[in-house]
Amino acid sequence: MKLREIAHSRTGDKGNISNISVIAYDAKHYPLLLDQVTSARVKAHFAGVVEGEVVRYELPKISALNFVMDRALGGGVTHSLALDAHGKSLSSALLDLEIESVLSRL
Amino acid sequence: MRTIRIGSGAGYSGDRIEPAVELAEKGDIQYLVFECLGERTVALAQQARLRNPEGGYDPLLEERMRAVLPLCAAKGIKIVTNMGAANPLAAACKTAAIARAIGLSSLKVAAVVGDDVLDACKQSDLPIMEFDGTISQLGNRLISANAYLGAEPIVKALGGGADVVITGRASDPALFLAPIIDAFGWPMDDWSRLGQGTLAGHLLECAGQVTGGYFADPSYKDVPDLARLGFPIGEIGEDGSLIITKAEGSGGAVTAQTCKEQLLYEVHDPARYLQPDVIADFSAVRIEEIGRDRVRVSGGRGGARPETLKVSVGYVDGFIGEGQISYAGPGALARGRLALEIVRERLKLTGVAANELRFDLIGVDSLHGSHVSAYANEPYEVRLRVAGRTENLREAVRIGNEVETLYTNGPAGGGGAFKAVRDVVAVASVLLPRELAKPRVQFVESVR
């Protein structure tokens, strides 16, 4: 299934850094997010868009992850040549990620 | 326990006008905050002020003030806003003049000045955070430097009896934290409560983004009546308890989901949300729905404030030239790709001097590049877009011109060509030792 089936997401921007939240609709799916939506997968998903490091922060109390992606906005919102200079639409791209419905470690 | 209600009347400079009127009318609020100053806006405003010393504040100031001042004055609702942009004092004088014009004779308006730290920055060699370089290396391209001020001067203005407080660059959450401190007298080193107050400000600062705006995704996340989206109200208790809600009968929705999305919006490390007044910690925040359009948010904490203030530095960054043209029907994608190749070759052949070029097909790969969108089906229509950064206006113009010549020189059926050129004011950040910024409050009264 697609990540979109179990999580919602929002993108924010500061300078040349984009952050994307991934929030489980249901707390029971948070372990799936932890297991499969890794920094490495997010970085690979955004190959060609994100040039820098991707760091993941975990928020178990609200069943959410926060990805902070460095050098992701074409030099920064005020500098970028991109149509979507803020990267507002990146969250929708991330929800297209394929998710297995069982934990890979089980 | 005492509680106050703060309304959020705008989330950006061009935001809708009437939701703030709705808040003043039936939101039962004591404070109304307008956050209208983007990262780049203050640099553009500084340029406007250089052209006109009486200008440089938010272009919608008059419209917003005329819309809410009569109600706010009648009900004693205090207004806090960063619409002062590059000229808070002129904005305060303008607001007092509007008050006089509509018959409000004793309105007290305060301007918070001192965020402009251009002189302090010019004399320093502070490193730029976004790229390798220092302020001095920007030379005469430097336009503006504005420090993100905290809540203190706004609290001082409110304490001095201001009905309206107008700032320039201030931290967005501080616009909300200040009224809370004004109401409850929280000490400026009660880091935990300042962290929870910052949490309130952070959730409210983008207005409609916490009441269902920037959220809807049909059949996954449906939101009622977005055309009449209600703006949020924060209900804050003296102990720091916080409920996010909105005016009865307005469009949109306040749910745990909308609050979670806004909680992480533009946040990096949730345990270290750097603010002028506190390093807020959102990592243990809890969010629970306690009623229709009522969400309790608890667990915001904080640590000692940073020793530096973030400063937004505006600088001239050359020009961007752009051209677009559309193709449709069978083979649209192939004709769009051919057109892109033609423009790419033409820009080389004719020697257009660009530092950076970008070639997109809107509808195919313009947002996330060819890797992310590689699987997509062939679209019915595509729109070519070529953009480039140049040192001067003349070269920027040539980029759009080359796209336009596709009409008669390019693939079949190209339509709707468009071209544009703009000069670029970019923004970078530096950290300034906080004692170098000296905020002050100046009062203006509408008394004749």
Which string of DSSP letters, residue by residue, matches B201-253?
A: HHHHTTGGGGTTTTT-BTTTB--S-GGGBPPEEEEEETT--EEEEE-TT-BS-
Mean pLDDT in residue range A27-32: 97
Asked whether residue A42 is domain-assigned, the answer is yes
Q: Do B170 and B273 belong together in one domain? A: yes
Place of tokens 């932890």: A34
Asked whether residue A103 is domain-assigned, the answer is no
Contact residues, chain B, for A18 at CB < 8 Å: none
Q: Do B295 and B319 belong together in one domain? A: no
Q: Do B208 and B85 belong together in one domain? A: yes
Q: Do B423 and B286 belong together in one domain? A: no
E strands, B282-414, where? 286-291, 294-298, 301-303, 308-328, 356-362, 381-390
Strand partners, B407: none
pLDDT higher than threshold 60 for residue B445: yes
- Quick one: which of B77, B69, B64 has its CA closest to B35? B64
Name the band, by pLDDT with cuts 50, 70 and 90, for residue B448.
Answer: low
pLDDT higher than threshold 60 for residue A106: no
* pLDDT score recorded for residue B369: 84
Locate B265 and state its tokens.
């919006």
Q: Do B397 and B424 belong together in one domain? A: yes
Q: Do B265 and B317 belong together in one domain? A: no
Instruction: Give yes or no for a contact between B163 and B81, defined as CB atoms under 8 angstroms apart.
Output: no
Q: Which of A4, A13, A68 lies at the smallest CB-CB distance from B220?
A: A4
Q: Which domain holds residue A42?
A: 3-94
Mean pLDDT in residue range A29-34: 97
Q: Fill in the amino acid letter for B444.
A: V
Percent of chain B clearing pLDDT 90 (strictly above):
92
CA distance A50 to A82: 13
Distances (CA, A) of B59 to B86, B131, B153, B315, B416: 12, 31, 24, 21, 31
Q: Which domain holds residue B205?
A: 3-114+149-306
Locate A61 and state its tokens.
């109390």
| pLDDT top residue among B378 and B418 | B418
Mean pLDDT in residue range B221-250: 98
Q: Does B287 touch chain A (CB under 8 A)?
A: yes
Q: Do B105 and B206 belong together in one domain? A: yes
Cα Rg of chain B, angstroms: 24
Closest residue of chain A to B270, computed from CA coordinates: A57
CA distance B387 to chain A (A): 6
| Mean of the per-residue pLDDT values of chain A | 94
Please report how many Cα atoms fall inside a 13 Å half-sphere around the Cα of residue B142, on the Cβ side: 24
Asked whether residue B29 is domain-assigned, the answer is yes
Contact residues, chain B, for A81 at CB < 8 Å: 320, 356-358, 387-389
Closest residue of chain A to B128, computed from CA coordinates: A15
Q: Which of B306, B331, B359 is the last residue of a domain?
A: B306
Closest residue of chain B to A85, computed from CA coordinates: B367
Q: Do B168 and B198 belong together in one domain? A: yes
pLDDT higher than threshold 90 for residue B382: yes
Cα Rg of chain A, angstroms: 14
Contact residues, chain B, for A13 at CB < 8 Å: 266
Asked whether residue A46 is domain-assigned, the answer is yes
E strands, A15-87, where? 17-24, 54-59, 64-69
| Mean of the per-residue pLDDT values of chain B | 96
Q: Which of B251, B275, B306 is the last residue of a domain?
A: B306
Distances (CA, A) of B27 to B6, B9, B129, B378: 9, 11, 41, 49
Name the band, by pLDDT with cuts 50, 70 and 90, for residue B220.
Answer: very high
Summarised one tens digit per residue, pLDDT across range B317-331 is 999 999 999 999 999
Locate B442 and state its tokens.
């100046």
Q: Do B26 and B74 belong together in one domain? A: yes
Summarised one tens digit per residue, pLDDT across range B269-291 is 999 999 999 999 999 999 999 99
Asked whether residue A52 is domain-assigned, the answer is yes
Q: With an 8 Å Cβ cutoff, are B283 and A78 in contact?
A: no
Which of B215, B368, B382 to probe the A interface (max A CBs under 10 A)?
A: B368
CA distance B309 to B289: 36
CA distance A93 to A100: 18
Q: Do B418 and B321 belong together in one domain? A: yes
Mean pLDDT in residue range B212-229: 98
pLDDT higher than threshold 80 for residue B402: yes
Asked whether residue A83 is domain-assigned, the answer is yes
CA distance B363 to B202: 34
- Per the structure, the count of domains in chain B is 2
- Per the structure, the count of domains in chain A is 1
Mean pLDDT in residue range B90-117: 96
Name the band, by pLDDT with cuts 50, 70 and 90, for residue A92.
Answer: very high
Q: Chain B window 371-390: which residues touch A at a Cβ cutoff of 8 Å?
A: 371-372, 385, 387-389
Q: For the full predicted model, state whether its pTM sits above 0.90.
A: yes
Q: With an 8 Å Cβ cutoff, are A14 and B266 in contact?
A: yes
Find the CATH number of the domain harbouring A82.
3.30.70
Distances (CA, A) of B371 to A52, B82, B198, B321, B388: 16, 41, 39, 25, 21
Q: Which of A21, A57, A78 lies at the smallest CB-CB distance from B269?
A: A57
Q: Do B232 and B276 belong together in one domain? A: yes
Find the CATH number of the domain harbouring B423.
3.30.70.100
Asked whether residue A72 is domain-assigned, the answer is yes
Q: Do B271 and B334 belong together in one domain? A: no
Q: Fill in the amino acid letter for B151.
A: A
pLDDT higher than threshold 90 for residue A104: no
Summarised one tens digit per residue, pLDDT across range A53-81 is 999 999 999 999 999 999 999 988 888 99
- Quick one: which of B66, B232, B65, B86 has its CA closest to B164? B65
Q: Which of B306, B330, B363 is the last residue of a domain?
A: B306
Asked whether residue B130 is domain-assigned, the answer is no
Q: Does B264 touch chain A (CB under 8 A)?
A: yes
Backbone conformation region of residue B251, classed left if phi is above 0, alpha if psi is from -120 to 50, else beta? beta
Asked whether residue A99 is domain-assigned, the answer is no
Contact residues, chain A, for B265 at CB < 8 Å: 10, 12, 21
Summarised one tens digit per residue, pLDDT across range B333-355 is 999 999 999 999 999 999 999 99
